[in-house]
Amino acid sequence: MSLEQEIKKARKEIVSDGYEMSLGEIMNLYRDDELRINPEFQRLFRWDTTRKTRFIESILLSIPIPPIFVFQDDDGNWELIDGLQRLSTVLEFAGELKGPDGKKVEASTLEGTKFLPNLADKRWQVWKDGDMSIDKSMQMQIKRSRIRVEILLKESDENAKYELFQRLNTGGAQLSPQEVRNCVAVMINPELYKLFQKLSESDNFSKTVNQTENALEKQSGVELVLRFFAFKHHPYKKGLDVHEYLDEALIEISKSENIDWEEEEVFFNKTFNLLNEALGDSAFKRWDGKNFGGKFLMSLYETVAFGVSQNLLEIESKGKTKQKDFVVTRAKALWDDPIFEKNSGAGIRGTTRLAKLLPMAKGFFKP
């Protein structure tokens, strides 16, 4: 298939429409449950008061608002795909935003700004002494402000909304690639998302990967859990960008009806229980010939976790002491392996690393 044919085929998979609406109309749709914001997404509503204020200020100053993207289901209802921060800011300020429990969250109070210092302490509605609300004309200005709504129609390929969500949210300052994937997981299989969160917080896993607070904030633990299952159930295709591979793997395994996730949870826990007992927080750190040390290395995680998991039953048959000794011995020997040495260092592209180390790991940790 030529590049031109690929473009034509991909275009046919996405059917879209779009038009401008007032924010007042958007509020009404949300109030009537005809526009849905997935409750799990609200965990990612992270704008602070300053950013919320600046956005409301922009509306009052008639600065154009970027479009929002929605997916239209079979009943004609809309599901928000992109625009969470902006739309939630307006809904929260107007006292319409509902929390995960279905109850309305407390309305925002604004700060003063350079151009509108009198926004300080203002709310949408009258409160306390009755002198701190914006007036009716300002409320109407906000409601009448227009925003373009881009609509992904139900005739689109079923994976199109996940792809669109990833494209729109990847590369921004607010969400890491894995946080974007978390939202996609919630769209497809909320229970699997909860399982990945649970496994990322499990004791043995947490001790072996030993992630920093900043990394955990960006959901690195959940990404490592995803990598573990992606390698097992969605073999890496040589040359595919690593993040595109993880995006693709997440959609595939989230929708699969052939994976027993109760068994997978047991399998995962057994793997990291063994790694923790054998190596502890050194499981994915460099061996210098005398000691394990340094920082967490992704190349080690991919090789050791995958290699051990692929041979877990055979390793377990050795007995408790011998299986731990085996894992320690192979983890040390890894640093003398020419394939690992050549493809694990800084500067090696992730695509090359996965293509070379995953096949090697399976044989390397075979008893």
pLDDT, position 172: 44
Q: What is the mean pLDDT of residues 100-127?
A: 83
Rounded distance, CA 35 to CA 191, Å? 23
**φ/ψ of residue 102, rounded to 5:** 90, -10
Q: Where are the alpha helices (DSSP H) in the chain?
A: 3-12, 23-31, 49-60, 84-93, 136-144, 160-169, 177-188, 190-200, 203-209, 213-217, 220-233, 242-255, 261-279, 298-300, 306-310, 312-316, 320-333, 338-343, 350-364
92 pLDDT above the threshold of 60: yes
Whether the full predicted model's pTM is greater than 0.75, yes or no, is no
Residue 193 and residue 215 in contact, taking contact as beta carbons nearer than 8 Å: no
Among the ranges given (151-160, 168-177, 327-336), the one the predictor scored with the smallest mean pLDDT: 168-177
- Judged against a pLDDT cut of 60, whether residue 203 lies above it is answered with yes
**Averaged pLDDT, 35-58:** 79
d(CA 34, CA 43): 21
pLDDT at residue 274, rounded to an integer: 96
The predicted structure's pLDDT at residue 210: 86
Q: What percent of the chain has pLDDT over 70?
A: 81
Candidate from 9-13, 112-116, 121-125, 204-208 with smallest mean pLDDT:
9-13
| Local structure of 180: helix, strand or coil | helix
Contact between residue 18 and residue 87 where contact means Cβ atoms under 8 Å apart: no
What is the per-residue pLDDT for 81?
A: 77
User: What's the confidence (pLDDT) of residue 173?
Assistant: 42
What is the spatial distance between Cα 98 and Cα 96, in angstroms, rounded to a whole number?
Answer: 6
- Pairwise CA distance, residues 176 & 50, whole Å: 21
Sheet with 68-72, strands from edge to edge, namely 16-22, 146-152, 68-72, 78-82, 35-36
Q: What is the pLDDT of residues 272-323, one digit of tens each?
A: 999 999 999 999 999 999 999 999 999 999 999 999 999 999 999 888 789 9
Neighbours of 291 (CB within 10 A): 10
HEC per residue, 312-324: HHHHHCCCHHHHH
Query: Model confidence at 30, in pLDDT bands (50, 70, 90)?
Result: very high
Q: What is the pLDDT of residues 228-245, one digit of tens each?
A: 999 999 999 888 888 889
What residue ranges do the domains of the chain occupy?
3-161, 176-364
Separation of first and last alpha carbons in the chain: 44
Residue 346: per-residue pLDDT? 77
DSSP-assigned states of every residue in 279-342 = HGGGTTSEE-SS-EESS--HHHIIIIIHHHHHTHHHHHTT-HHHHHHHHHHHHHHGGG-HHHHH
